[in-house]
């Protein structure tokens, strides 16, 4: 039962994020990047993912808390949990990863 609940939560998060991309052409693998302001909630050094509580990026991403795959850096080397940061979001046909995590000025 717990497993089902987790799967449902993940499915809901995916729906929330893909909402804006459904109208785009699914054929070509297009990568879109944009800056996003967020606070680091937690991290998983084993999977190299970071959980961010992000502000809305109009037209791209609603304000939400979600896990992002981190590329080009180690999750363990990022600023401490609770630090406000600016990251670059890479949206590849609705699947996301982040780079350039910098403390907010
Ligand atoms: Cu999201």
pTM of the model: 0.75
Report how far ligand 1's centroid is from the alpha carbon of 29 (Å).
19
Let me know if domain 2-103 sits in CATH 1.10.8.80.
no
Give pLDDT tens digits for 5-14. Answer: 767 666 666 6
Q: Which pLDDT band, with edges at 50, 70 and 90, does 105 fall under? A: confident
Report how far ligand 1's centroid is from the alpha carbon of 6 (Å).
17
Q: What is the pLDDT of residue 1?
A: 63
Q: Which residues lie at CB < 5 A from ion ligand 1?
A: 17, 61, 64, 66
Domain boundaries, the chain: 2-103
Give pLDDT tens digits for 31-89. Answer: 999 999 999 999 999 999 999 999 999 999 999 999 999 999 999 999 999 999 999 99
Residues making up the chain, counted from first to last: 105
Report how far ligand 1's centroid is from the alpha carbon of 88 (Å).
13
């Amino acid at each position: 039962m717990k497993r089902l609940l987790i799967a449902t939560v993940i499915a809901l998060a995916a729906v929330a994020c893909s909402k804006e991309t459904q109208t785009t052409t699914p054929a070509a693998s297009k990568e879109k990047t944009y800056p996003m302001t967020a606070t680091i909630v937690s991290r998983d050094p084993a999977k190299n993912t970071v959980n961010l509580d992000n502000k809305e990026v109009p037209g791209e991403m609603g304000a939400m808390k979600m896990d992002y795959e981190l590329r080009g850096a180690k999750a363990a080397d990022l600023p401490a949990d609770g630090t406000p940061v600016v990251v670059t979001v890479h949206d590849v046909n609705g699947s996301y990863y982040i780079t350039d995590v910098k403390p907010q000025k």
